[in-house]
Structure 1
Amino acid sequence: MIIDTHLHIIDLEALHYPWLGSVEALNRMFRYETYAAEARKVGIAATLHMEVDVAETEIVAESDYISGLAAQPGSLLVGAIASCRPEQDGFARYLDLVREKAIVKGFRRVLHVMPDDLSESALFRENIKRLSGTGLTFDLCVLPHQMERAIALVDLAPDVTFIVDHCGVPDIKGGNIDGWNKGISEIARRPNVIGKLSGISIYGDGENWSVETLRPYVEHTIGSFGFDRMVWGSDWPVCTLAGSLSTWVAATHALLSGVSPEDKAKLLSGNARKLWNLSV
């Protein structure tokens, strides 16, 4: 089975997404029902919703919306990674509120499209430390040149589990592997960091990518973290910019060809189940 740890639902009738105005291909409805119909066909048995950077005033509403979908009979949704603003004074109150919502398993603050120094403020770092002891994780979506700052954040909160999204966002199209691979190797030395195999097909040349194009990046990421510290994500519907959900699942199986059944099961479902205490 597969547990998808990185699903985005875009419902323009329920929530507002300011950033979508500049991404025409994604600026439309991507409903849960559309995802679930295909997901079941490719072996995805459960999924965690990843925040979609909704309007700041609707962050709590997004979690409530996902909770409603998860409550539907037969829903694949078993959790959510919620948006947050650690750079703001209200984070502590927000954390108290969200901890009452069973659907929320962790947080993400989009960093790869923000100023590099956002995570370096004293308030941001203090608020990330507030996750200590909560069991809530924090996803890191950073560019290779931001990895040093991500590592500093990880080191300040050693008992918080961090997840590196999309294999660290490598520049696959540009072939710039050297700086990226050093950053992955370094952050993977921290035992409280998990790698996520997700989203990298879109970093190639549109739909002109292949399994072999992705392989060096996937193998280095898995080699750095090991199969005990890797999870999998579809990044749907962003993955549709370079294929489809089915395409990415097929590519994943090809990339893991030759891997032992035990290690493959850890990456595709076991580690996620253990990390977020999922009952699926």
Structure 2
Amino acid sequence: MLFDTHLHVIDRNRLNYPWLPDVPDLDRDSLYEHYARDALRCGITNVLHMEVDVATDAIERETTFIKEIAARPESLVRGAIAACRPEEKGFPAYLERCLADPFVKGFRRVLHVAPDDTSERPLFRENVARLADTRLTFDLCVFPHQFERILDLVDLNPDVRFILDHCANPPIKSGMSAVWHRGITEFSRRPNVTAKISGVIAYGDLETWSVESLRPYIEHTIESFGWDRVVWGSDWPVCTLGGGLTPWVAATHALTSGCSEDERDKLYQGNAKRIWAVE
């Protein structure tokens, strides 16, 4: 069974997504019910919703919306990784509200769409440090050219638990990158970082990717981090660009077919249940 740590729900009738019109292939509603049919067929039993970079004034409304989905009968949603803006003065009060809400499991600030120096700003660093020794994680969604800056952020916060999204966005379509390969190794040397095996079918050739084209990236990530520091995610609906949820689940099973049952269980669900305290 699979614990999906990276579902995006897009409902343009409920929330405003400023970036969406600039990505025509995703500029549509991607609703929970669209996802759930395939998720149940694929053996997904638990889901965390990942924030979708909504307008800043809609951040808390997004969490409320996802709570409504979680309250539906037989919903798979167990919590939310909420959006945040650590570069803003209102973050401490927002953090306190989220700490009081067990549905919020962590935060993400999408950094690959922000100015590269965002993570170096004093207020940003000060606010991320507030997560130290809390139950909340902080997802890192970055591109390889940002690795050095983000490694500095991680090193400044050894008591914050970071989740590295999408195997750190490897440039699969253009071939193995020394910067990416070395960066994964460096991130793995930080014990407070966990890697998320998610969404990579959207980074290869969307029409011709294969299990073997993904293998070097998945294997290097898992070998670097070890089986106790990897989790799985779909990155739905972004994964639909590379074929959808079912092909990605099938590729996951193929890529891990030679692994032990214990290793697969850690990646598929065990580590996620431990990290985010989900039964």
Specify the TM-score bucket, using the shorter chain as the normaliser: over 0.9
The runs of at least 4 consecutive aligned structure 1 residues that moved more than 3 Å come to: none
One-letter amino acid of the structure 1 residue matched with residue 30 of structure 2: F
Among all aligned residue pairs of Structure 1 and Structure 2, give the percentage whose two residues are the same amino acid: 59
One-letter amino acid of the structure 1 residue matched with residue 230 of structure 2: M
Q: How far has the Cα of 1:97 moved from its partner?
A: 1.5
Identify the residue that residue 12 of structure 1 maps to in structure 2: 12
Q: How far has the Cα of 1:112 moved from its partner?
A: 1.0
Identify the residue that residue 224 of structure 1 maps to in structure 2: 224
- TM-score between the two structures when normalised by the length of structure 2: 0.99
Identify the residue that residue 94 of structure 1 maps to in structure 2: 94
Secondary structure in structure 2 of the residue aligned to 1:206: coil
Q: How far has the Cα of 1:101 moved from its partner?
A: 2.0
Provide the rounded CA distance (Å) in 1 between the counterparts of 2:206 and 2:32: 25
Match runs of 1:149-168 below 5 Å? 149-168=149-168
Q: How far has the Cα of 1:119 moved from its partner?
A: 0.3
C-alpha distance after superposition, 1:157-179 (max 9, x if no partner)? 11111000000101111114211
Provide the rounded CA distance (Å) in 1 between the counterparts of 2:226 and 2:207: 29
Provide the rounded CA distance (Å) in 1 between the counterparts of 2:65 and 2:116: 31
Provide the rounded CA distance (Å) in 2 between the counterparts of 1:130 and 1:80: 19
Q: How far has the Cα of 1:205 moved from its partner?
A: 1.3
Identify the residue that residue 185 of structure 2 maps to in structure 1: 185
Identify the residue that residue 245 of structure 1 maps to in structure 2: 245
Identify the residue that residue 114 of structure 1 maps to in structure 2: 114
Provide the rounded CA distance (Å) in 1 between the counterparts of 2:206 and 2:38: 22
Q: How far has the Cα of 1:132 moved from its partner?
A: 1.2
Secondary structure in structure 2 of the residue aligned to 1:163: strand
Q: Which runs of 5+ in 1 are unaligned?
A: none
Cα contact 1:79–1:103 (8 A) shared by 2: yes
C-alpha distance after superposition, 1:117-144 (max 9, x if no partner)? 1100110000000011221000000101
Cα contact 1:207–1:241 (8 A) shared by 2: no
Identify the residue that residue 53 of structure 2 maps to in structure 1: 53
CA RMSD of aligned residues (A): 0.8
One-letter amino acid of the structure 2 residue matched with residue 154 of structure 1: V
Cα contact 1:63–1:80 (8 A) shared by 2: yes
- When the two structures are aligned, how many residues end up with a matched partner? 279
Match runs of 1:1-280 below 5 Å? 1-279=1-279
Q: How far has the Cα of 1:257 moved from its partner?
A: 1.3
Q: How far has the Cα of 1:100 moved from its partner?
A: 2.1
Provide the rounded CA distance (Å) in 2 between the counterparts of 1:212 and 1:176: 13
Provide the rounded CA distance (Å) in 2 between the counterparts of 1:174 and 1:117: 26
One-letter amino acid of the structure 2 residue matched with residue 14 of structure 1: R
Provide the rounded CA distance (Å) in 2 between the counterparts of 1:59 and 1:229: 28
One-letter amino acid of the structure 2 residue matched with residue 133 of structure 1: D
